[in-house]
Amino acid sequence: MDKYQAGSYKIVADGYLHDLPIAITFTKDKIMGIKVKPGTKLHGIEKEAIPKVVDRILTQQTVDIDAVTGATVTSDGLVDALTDVIDQMPDSVSKF
C-alpha cells in the first residue's frame, strides 16, 4: 500500500501574524517538498524558522518533529497543515 497519494497540494498554514500559503509535494512514499508561496511576506523569526521546520520534516519524513525555539506558532502551523493534507488523503493510503 502506498504511504501517500502522489501530487502537489496547496493549503494555508497558520503563521505567527498571518496565514502562510504553502504547497506540499508527495511521491507515493515520501514527502518531497514544502514551499511557501513566492511573494509571501515573512515576519521576524519566520524567515529562519520555516526552512528549519521544512528541513526537519523532509529529513525525518514525519510530522513528529520538535518546534523551532522561538517559533512554536509557525512550527505548529506548518505541522498542522501537513497533517491536514495527509488526513484528507483517501483511505486507501496509509497514515503515519
State the pTM of this model.
0.88
8: exposed, middle or buried (Cβ count in 10 Å: 0-12, 13-18, 19+): exposed
Angstrom distances, CA of residue 52 to CA of 10, 57, 60: 20, 9, 12
Which CATH fold topology does 7-87 show? Answer: Sufe protein. Chain: A (3.90.1010)
Give kind and range of the element (H or E) at residue 19. Answer: strand 19-26
The ranges assigned to domains in the chain are: 7-87
Per-residue confidence (pLDDT) for residue 10, from 0 to 100: 96
Tens digit of each residue's pLDDT (9 = 90 or more) over 28-49: 999 999 999 999 999 889 999 9
- Let me know if 96 is exposed, middle or buried by CB neighbors in 10 A (0-12, 13-18, 19+): exposed
What does the chain come to in residues?
96
